[in-house]
Every structure is written in C-alpha cells, then in structure tokens.
C-alpha cells in the first residue's frame, strides 16, 4: 500500500480513505479523532476494511467527479466493467448543512457481466476485536459501539462475506453510524448523490481561483474543506495517524487534531479562495478554547472538541503503515511551548477588524481577546521554545516564534488605529522592539540572512515567512539573502527540507512539501516570479493521480510519505499558486 493509491471522501463530520482496489482502509467514526472503524491502513491483516472490488482482485482507476469530493473507482476485466461511487452526503437542507454520519457506496455495472466481491469487516476501535453481527432482512447491524453501526443494502446479504457474484444492476450500500436508513435505498442514494454533487460544484463555483494552476487549487480547496470539523469549527492537520515521514524514521505522529498554527494558515487559504464561513466557525472554536484559559497559556494543538488531553501513547500490537512502527495515539506536542501560536491567532483574527464585511463580528469580547493575545505574544518574544518544528532537543529562542510575536504586535497596531487608538503607542513600540531584536540577534553576519535561532548559523525554511509577513521588504538585501541561503542549504532534488540539524530524532531525510510552497511565495514577493513559477511547476511531477498531497516527499523517487492528505501541504499550494500567478487582468481576461 502507498498513499498515492488512496482517495479521500468526507463531509466535514467524518471521512474515509478509499484505496484503488475498492477497499475503505481507514475511517474513524463518528468524527475524525475517534477510534477507527476500518483500520487496514495501519494493519493490513487484521485492521478491518470495507471492500467492494473486482472478483479478480485487479485494482481500479480512481478519479473525482469534476469539482466534487465524490470519488469514482472504475474496474475493468475480461468479464466486464463497473464503477463504485463513494461519498459522504453533504448538502443544504432546511437552511442547514446536512452532513450525516453515513458513507454511501453505489456500485454500477457499465459493460458486460462484471463479477464483484463485497466484504464489510469493521473493528471495535483500537482493540481490533470484531463486533457481533445481527442480520435483518436488508441490513447487518454491528454491535458493541457507542451508537448503532448498520450496513443497509439491496445486495443479497448471503454474498457479503467475500464470495464473488454477478453485478446485474445498480446496487447500493449505506453504512450509518447512529440513525439507520429506514427508506427505500435507490431513491435515497440517488437523491443524496445528486444533492452532494450539486453542493460541491456550487461551492467550487463560488471559489476564487488564480489564472494558472487552477485544477491544483480547486482540488486543494476541496481537500482542505474536508479537514474542517463543522460542528466546532476546528480544522485538523490530517485525517490519519502514524504514517511515517520516511521509512525507518520512527517519525509517526497522530495528526487528527487542530493545531492553532495550521488553522491560521488554512484560514488564509480560504480567504484567498473567497470563502469566509470557515473563519467564522474557527472564531467560535478559538473563543471556546481561550475562554478555558484566563492566562492564555494555550497549547499548540487541541482535540476537535476543544479539549487538550492528548497524552501520547504507543499501540505496540499494531504493525503500522507498511510495517513501519510505532503506531501512536495522541500527540505529545500538546505539552510543548510553541510561542508562535499567539501571533498566528492574532493574524487569524485581524481580518475581522480591518475588513468592513465582518464588522458585525467585532464585539468587545473579540477585541479583548485579540488584545490579550497580542500582549501575550509580546511577553514571550525571544524566549526559548520548541518552535514550529517541535524540536525535542534543548530549546533555544526560535526566530520564527519571535517573527510571529512581531506580527502580533504589528497587526495589533493596525487594529488599534481603527478600534482602540489609545493602544497604538503600546503596540507600535513593541513591534519595533521585537523587530530590532530579530535583526540584531538572528542575522548571520557573514551571509546576511536570517538564521533559525538567536545567535545560530543554521537556517530553516520557516524563515521564508519573514518575507511573506513583511518583516523584510522585497528590496531588503536580507530578504534575498535568506531566500538564497534556504535554497542553498535545504535543497533536495528541486524541493526543500525543513532544516538540516538534529532535532532529537535525527536529521530529516525527505523534503517537507510546505517548505517549497513557502519558497514560491517568497520568490514571488521579491519579484522573482519566473523562478517562483518554475519551482511550483514541479508539483505536477509528483505521483499523485488524484491531486492529493502528503506532508513529505522523497523527490528522487517521487514517493510521498507522512500523514495523508496533509492540510498544510494543500494550504501551501493554494498560497503559492495565488502568489505566483499573474492577475486576471494580465491574463487576457
């Protein structure tokens, strides 16, 4: 199994990974960070799966229906051709977004007399025990979960243990967590499919896109939307856990949570796309987590319900993705101090105060929150922390963390000019002080570039954000020196690594996809547009049939690694594509 063989479906409540052989190999219910119902992604033999496949075992060819998150897997062999349409329903009903905890699989014969095999083999979470089954006339109920899990179908139940049978008509399967299906399947599934396709195509139609890299941006937008947990407003880093960053690395993390940093970058991508409801939903999430911490000692990540009890444990009995252990549950980074998060939260809230379209959301409570976050950022600027890369060696003052603290003070100055003029001197002075400190303590005297930590000599890719966030102007020689130093030190077969230092687990071996997109943004900002586009063109060389990106890439072999798909990578592509594209007025429009 490789991540390139996987497609993602979902509806902002639950998700599933569908392999091109027709097996759902990963799905957590009833929400992204729940225990798995299907876990073959991390245990091929005993992890559980839901298979609808050709009787010959020949894999299919996958594509998304245009501008949707509805996945088609088409199978062809000597007996005939058929397709499986997989989706989680999502559409507007009664003026609300309808997103039931249901997965729908529609199997449709296309030519000849194809023979298929079906196996629905769920597990009881991390125990991998099998639930007891209770058979009805047209359904199988799986017992032992917190809610009922039921598979309703118009296929013969006799054939659902893997025996091959002839597919003679369109057949439907609905796996429901909670309320089961009690109405005729054919009209229900047809309506859900029609309405879900219409919803996604309507959503895409209302997205802004750049003149070039359009297909890549549209797919990234659709993927990113699936990472939003609409019930609370949380945005998760990925839907999976424990896919290693590289073979034998031991870097297997649980990413099914909301990093405050990642959420800020995701909101920026939605802003570029012209989609704003995600910002409103995340504001609710942020107000909730901040309200639990009067001192604003915010951990860098949370569960999607806003809780931070994320003790990291290792599941010894699970063999892991491609046998790569350990399999982890929870994430120890929740115990880190990562001081950049205060800056990113101010940046996430700033558009509310500067854009008159959101003036009704500028309440005294939100203004108080952003003011407190900015003061918190100022108070921790220049202090040692784990930083964006979650370093597991001795902490030092991280330049990126201080950069974000500066951004908090700088943007709060702009907010104060419109909403609290009396606070302008306080935040303007703080912004100048932090900027001066960065340029005094975090610039290499020989190369003239920013460095990763105060007094150091190494660079990391996060320094490129100093250009994007305008700490360094496009004509500042230090901006160009930083771009060139990052390229020189971190280049890996046309892509970029995060850094080249030991982080407590070793030295990273693979490229981190987001870093290349940051380099594209920085190049475009300083006017090196052709170089930016040439770097972004490499995306098309990644072996990703569906346009989905993981966290990491081994660029020589073109193989992706890490949790998949990774919201951060798709966020980076959206930002980079808008930065490197010409304006529509310059593109013949």
pLDDT digits (tens, 9 = 90+) for 12-47: 999 999 999 999 999 999 999 999 999 999 999 999
> Which stretches within 469-556 are classed as H helix?
477-490, 513-525, 529-536
Given a cut of 60, whether residue 137 has pLDDT beyond it is yes
Helix axes 214-226, 185-205, angle to 10 degrees: 120
Report how far residue 203's alpha carbon sits from residue 301's, in angstroms, rounded to the nearest whole number.
Answer: 28
Residue 105: inside a domain: yes
Lowest mean pLDDT among 237-241, 506-510, 523-527: 506-510
Spatial strand order of the sheet with 149-153 comes to 61-64, 71-77, 80-87, 102-112, 171-177, 149-153, 139-143, 132-135
Choosing from 179, 204, 229, the residue where a domain stops is 204
Residue 179 sits in the same domain as residue 234: no
245 to each of 169, 312, 328, how far by Cα in Å? 43, 18, 13
In the structure, what pLDDT confidence band is assigned to residue 402 with cuts at 50, 70 and 90?
very high
Report how far residue 277's alpha carbon sits from residue 257's, in angstroms, rounded to the nearest whole number.
Answer: 20
Report how far residue 552's alpha carbon sits from residue 513's, in angstroms, rounded to the nearest whole number.
Answer: 6
Residue 233 sits in the same domain as residue 118: no
Given a cut of 70, whether residue 491 has pLDDT beyond it is yes
Contact 27, 14 (CB under 8 A): yes
Residue 234 sits in the same domain as residue 176: no
Structure tokens of 549? Answer: 């990106």
Residue 259 sits in the same domain as residue 403: yes
State the pLDDT at residue 11. 98
Choosing from 188, 204, 220, the residue where a domain stops is 204
What is the CATH number for 188? 2.70.98
Report how far residue 550's alpha carbon sits from residue 559's, in angstroms, rounded to the nearest whole number.
Answer: 10
Taking all residues of the chain, what is their mean pLDDT, rounded to a whole number?
94
Of 22, 50, 36, 37, which is closest to residue 153 (Cα–Cα)?
A: 50
Lowest mean pLDDT among 433-447, 448-462, 489-503: 489-503
Given a cut of 60, whether residue 589 has pLDDT beyond it is no
Lowest mean pLDDT among 73-77, 351-355, 420-424: 351-355
Residue 127 sits in the same domain as residue 88: yes
Residue 178 sits in the same domain as residue 267: no
Residue 589: inside a domain: no
Residue 195 sits in the same domain as residue 156: yes
Residue 461: inside a domain: yes
**Per residue in 292-322, pLDDT tens?**
888 898 999 999 999 989 999 999 999 999 9
Q: Which of 465-479, 493-507, 573-587 has the highest mean pLDDT?
A: 465-479
| Domain of residue 84, residue span | 3-204
What is the CATH number for 485? 1.50.10.10
Residue 267 sits in the same domain as residue 388: yes
In the structure, what pLDDT confidence band is assigned to residue 235 with cuts at 50, 70 and 90?
very high
Residue 320 sits in the same domain as residue 174: no
Residue 35: inside a domain: yes
**Per residue in 158-212, pLDDT tens?**
999 899 999 999 999 999 999 899 899 999 999 999 999 999 999 999 999 999 9
Residue 521 CB contacts under 8 Å (≥ 6 apart), including other chains: 464, 467, 468, 532, 575, 576, 579, 580
Enclosing H/E stretch for 216 = helix 214-226
Given a cut of 90, whether residue 82 has pLDDT beyond it is yes
**Residue 396 DSSP symbol:** E
Residue 324: inside a domain: yes
Number of domains in the chain: 2
Choosing from 187, 204, 221, the residue where a domain stops is 204
In the structure, what pLDDT confidence band is assigned to residue 566 with cuts at 50, 70 and 90?
very high
Instruction: Provide the pairing of β-strand 36-38 with 228-229.
Output: unpaired
In the structure, what pLDDT confidence band is assigned to residue 337 with cuts at 50, 70 and 90?
confident
In the structure, what pLDDT confidence band is assigned to residue 524 with cuts at 50, 70 and 90?
very high
Residue 127 sits in the same domain as residue 223: no
| Residue linked to tokens 């769920």 | 122
Phi, psi of 473 (to 5 degrees): -75, 160
Residue 153: inside a domain: yes
Contact 47, 29 (CB under 8 A): no
Residue 558: inside a domain: yes
Residue 231: inside a domain: yes
Residue 498 sits in the same domain as residue 566: yes
State the pLDDT at residue 588. 62
State the pLDDT at residue 446. 96
Residue 196 sits in the same domain as residue 213: no
State the pLDDT at residue 393. 74
What is the number of other CB atoms lying within 10 angstroms of the CB of residue 290? Answer: 18
């Amino acid at each position: 199994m490789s991540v390139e063989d996987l497609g993602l479906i979902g509806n902002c409540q639950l998700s599933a990974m569908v392999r091109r052989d027709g097996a759902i190999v990963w799905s957590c219910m009833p929400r992204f960070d729940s225990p798995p119902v299907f876990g073959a992604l991390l245990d091929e033999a005993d992890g559980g799966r839901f298979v609808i496949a050709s009787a010959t075992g020949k894999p299919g060819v996958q594509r998304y229906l245009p501008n949707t998150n509805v996945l088609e897997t088409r199978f062809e062999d000597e007996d005939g051709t058929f397709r499986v349409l997989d989706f989680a329903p999502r559409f507007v009903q009664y003026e609300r977004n309808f997103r039931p905890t249901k997965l729908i699989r529609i199997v449709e014969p296309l030519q000849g007399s194809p023979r298929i095999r079906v196996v629905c083999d769920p597990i009881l979470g991390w125990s991998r025990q099998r639930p007891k089954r209770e058979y009805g006339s047209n359904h199988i109920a799986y017992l032992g979960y917190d809610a009922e899990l039921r598979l309703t179908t118009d296929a013969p139940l006799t054939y659902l243990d893997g025996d091959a049978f002839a597919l003679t008509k369109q057949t439907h399967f609905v796996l429901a967590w909670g309320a089961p299906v009690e109405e005729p399947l054919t009209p229900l599934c047809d309506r859900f499919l029609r309405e879900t396709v219409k919803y996604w195509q309507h959503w895409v139609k209302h997205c802004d896109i750049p003149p070039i890299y359009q297909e890549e941006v549209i797919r990234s937008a659709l993927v990113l939307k699936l990472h939003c947990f609409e019930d609370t407003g949380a945005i998760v880093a990925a839907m999976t856990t424990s896919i290693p960053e590289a073979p034998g690395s031991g870097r297997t993390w649980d990413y099914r949570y909301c990093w405050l940093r990642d959420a800020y970058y995701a909101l920026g991508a939605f802003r570029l796309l012209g989609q704003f409801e995600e910002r409103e939903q995340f504001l609710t999430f942020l107000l909730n987590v901040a309200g639990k911490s009067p001192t604003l000692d915010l951990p860098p990540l949370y569960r999607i319900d806003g809780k931070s009890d994320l003790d990291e444990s290792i599941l010894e009995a699970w063999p892991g993705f491609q046998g790569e252990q350990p399999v982890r549950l929870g994430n120890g980074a929740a115990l880190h101090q990562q001081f950049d998060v205060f800056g990113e939260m101010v940046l996430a809230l700033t558009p509310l105060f500067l854009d008159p379209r959101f003036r009704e959301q500028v309440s005294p409570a939100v203004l108080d929150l952003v003011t407190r976050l900015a003061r918190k950022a100022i108070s921790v600027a220049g202090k040692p922390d784990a930083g964006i890369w979650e370093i597991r060696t001795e902490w030092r003052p991280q330049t990126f963390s201080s950069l974000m603290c500066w951004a908090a003070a700088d943007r709060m100055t702009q907010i104060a000019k419109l909403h609290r003029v009396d606070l302008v001197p306080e935040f303007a002075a703080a912004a100048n002080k932090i900027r001066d400190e960065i340029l005094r303590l975090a610039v290499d005297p020989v190369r003239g570039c920013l460095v990763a930590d105060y007094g150091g000599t190494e660079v990391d890719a996060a320094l490129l954000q100093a250009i994007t966030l305008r700490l360094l102007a496009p004509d500042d020689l230090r901006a160009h020196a930083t771009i060139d130093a990052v390229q020189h030190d971190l280049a890996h077969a046309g892509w970029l690594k995060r850094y080249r230092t030991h982080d407590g687990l070793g030295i990273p071996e693979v490229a981190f996809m987001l870093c290349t997109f940051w380099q594209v943004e920085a190049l475009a900002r300083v006017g090196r547009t052709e170089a930016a586009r040439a770097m972004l063109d490499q995306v098309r060389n990644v072996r990703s049939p569906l346009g989905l990106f993981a966290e990491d890439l081994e660029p020589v072999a073109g193989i992706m690694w890490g949790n998949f798909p990774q919201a951060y990578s798709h966020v980076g592509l959206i930002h980079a594509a808008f930065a490197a594209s010409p304006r529509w007025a310059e593109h013949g429009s």
